Amino acid sequence: MVIPILSLTVLGAVLGLILGMAARFFKVEGNPLVEELEAILPGSQCGQCGYPGCTGAAQALADGSAPVTLCPPGGRAVVIALAARLGVEADLSGVKDAVPSIADVREELCIGCTRCYKVCPTDAILGAAKHIHAVFKEACTACGSCVEVCPTEAILLRPVPPTLQSWGWVKPGSMPQPLAANEGVLAA
């Protein structure tokens, strides 16, 4: 009775000691994980996750203090990639791919104050003082910073309608795919 208890205790202690020494002597300096996670995130520093930019979010993910579903613009693809890198389960139930949106300037309301292009993280807004501004579609990540600062609400996020090239089937069983509307018949 005594021997088994003693032998298992000694075994446990010795193995624990070995693990502790390994943790001390084989420790990896720095955290390459943070850089890898940052590379997965979209990188537009929009702040929707609540952390200071994508670097802050990556650090929080590495610490384990942030869930992998923290990035709304990233959509399902980013959640899956983060979960794969961190080795955790990704709960995709609440993650909806944001409807692809683009900022759009309503020219009749724009006063050319230039606040929006100063704040755009990807230089997607073209314009100058007292001139009406316009948005480069390819550069806009729909982070929403411009919408927040515009004094006249001239710039809004608008959903991008699907084209023949971007349309896709929805996942079977997830939601019904709507039928095409019978509209837009070409008329003389």
Which positions lie near another protein, rule CB under 8 A? 42-45, 75-77, 80, 92, 121-124, 138-139, 141, 162-164, 166-173, 176-188
Q: Give me the least distance between CB of 74 and another protein, in Å please.
A: 9
Q: Which residues contact 54 (CB under 8 A, 6 or more apart)?
A: 38, 41, 42, 43, 44, 45
Find residue 50's DSSP bridge partners.
none
Q: Which is nearer to another protein, 16 or 162 (CB)?
A: 162
Q: Give me the least distance between CB of 4 and another protein, in Å please.
A: 28
Q: Give me the least distance between CB of 141 and another protein, in Å please.
A: 5
Distance of CA 151 to the CA centre of its chain: 27
Answer whether 49's CB lies under 8 Å from 73's CB. Answer: no
Q: Which is nearer to another protein, 16 or 159 (CB)?
A: 159
Answer whether 48's CB lies under 8 Å from 143's CB. Answer: yes
Q: Which is nearer to another protein, 4 or 87 (CB)?
A: 87
Q: Which is nearer to another protein, 2 or 164 (CB)?
A: 164
Angle in degrees, CA 3, 7, 10, rounded to 5: 140
Taken in order 137, 140, 146, 147, is the CA torsion positive or negative? positive
Q: Give me the least distance between CB of 178 and another protein, in Å please.
A: 7
